[in-house]
Structure 1
Amino acid sequence: MIRHIVFFTVKPGQDVETVRRLLTRLGDIPHSSVFEVAANRKIDLYANEIDIVVYAEFADEAAFAAFKADPIYAETTATVRPLRELRFAADFPAGG
């Protein structure tokens, strides 16, 4: 299983909830076994810059590749890119 976590910051003047809602469209892509988009609660004692977190799980590399190849992925990315400032992603196998 592959875990995919993406952290976003939203550009000043953009609405975090709007960007979060736009990112939820990625959940319509059928290749993930788990897909969540949430606004960061910003309760950490040291750093709260991240606005939105995307978390997904995929059965294998093929499912992850199919997710990224889906037209919804390209459309959503094109819509969100101008609204976000930073994007950090981590992809790793479950358990290790």
Structure 2
Amino acid sequence: MEWKPSEQEEEYFARLEFERKKKQEEEKHAKLAADEKKRLRDLHYMHCPKCGMELIEIDYKGVKVDKCSECDGIWLDAGELESISKLEKSSLDKLFSVFRK
């Protein structure tokens, strides 16, 4: 007599197989997303968002800012604007103190 799994056993193994395939697909999509992110970063890293030319890192009062080699645009990374504004605040305060009584 041939052994036949019960309906619950069939459902259990079908669910296990589904979960295994689902996990494989999720891993595949995560790897593709990571590869695409790396490809885009390599394509755009240190290129001007305006004209696409190369950005050159320059030092502005101790803060590294990116300047376009073509259009002379200045691009700031996260936190750099705050750093520059703190540096410039003291210079502006000195300038405005001339006009105060």
When the two structures are superposed, what TM-score results if normalisation uses the length of structure 1? Answer: 0.24
Indicate the structure (1 or 2) with the bigger Cα radius of gyration: 2
Which fold has the larger relative contact order, with Cα–Cα distance below 8 Å and residues 6 or more apart in sequence? 1
More strand by share: 1
When the two structures are superposed, what TM-score results if normalisation uses the length of structure 2? Answer: 0.24
More helix by share: 2
